[in-house]
């Protein structure tokens, strides 16, 4: 499971011309689910996201987490994070989980992040054509792969 986490001052996702999810300060999280991901990956990665300390403290150091700044999360599924470009120029997505595997894990991630943050997690719609807007703050972008824990 791969998460691209962007610290934002605002982010939104529009589907078929309508805003479906929107946040102010917090994280835009693009989540790629692989065919071999499990509930263990959800648990580990959700903990990392919720606890990630990349917001500035009073001294300007990245030392605060979402809870410290009353931040929110916009979570977007993105299978293309598992693109392989080893052969040719057309990406292969064989590592990405098919919808019957990915959908329950995506929903589990939403639920677990809600439990950890105590807040509603804004989302897109799994598998939809989405337009994502963000104002990256910093810019700060962190990539976390649950298969690379060490």
* 80 noted as active-site residue: yes
Of 72, 73, 55, whose CA–CA distance to 64 is shortest? 55
Convert 97-148 into a string of H (helix), E (strand) and C (coil). Answer: CCHHHHHHHHHHHHHHHHHHHCCCCEECCCCCCEEEEEEEEEEEEEEEECCC
* 123 noted as active-site residue: no
Q: How far apart are CA 87 and CA 72, in angstroms?
A: 38
Tokens 């916009």: give the residue.
74
CB atoms closer than 10 angstroms to residue 8: 26
Of 6, 27, 55, 78, which residue is the catalytic one?
78
Of 27, 55, 79, 123, which residue is the catalytic one?
79
* 85 noted as active-site residue: no
Q: Active-site residue numbers?
A: 78-80
């Amino acid at each position: 499971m791969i998460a691209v986490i962007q610290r934002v001052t605002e982010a939104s996702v529009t589907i078929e011309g309508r805003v479906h999810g929107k946040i102010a300060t917090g994280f835009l999280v693009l989540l790629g689910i692989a065919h071999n991901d499990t509930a263990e990956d959800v648990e580990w990665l959700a903990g990392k996201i919720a606890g990630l300390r990349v917001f500035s403290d009073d001294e300007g150091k990245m030392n605060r987490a979402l809870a410290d700044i009353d931040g929110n999360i916009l979570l977007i599924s993105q299978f293309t994070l598992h693109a392989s470009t080893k052969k040719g120029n057309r990406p292969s997505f064989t590592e990405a989980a098919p919808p019957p595997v990915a959908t329950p894990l995506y929903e589990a991630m939403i639920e677990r992040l809600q439990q950890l943050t105590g807040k509603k997690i804004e989302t897109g719609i799994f598998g939809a054509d989405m337009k994502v807007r963000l104002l990256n703050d910093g810019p700060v972008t962190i990539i976390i792969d649950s298969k690379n824990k060490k």
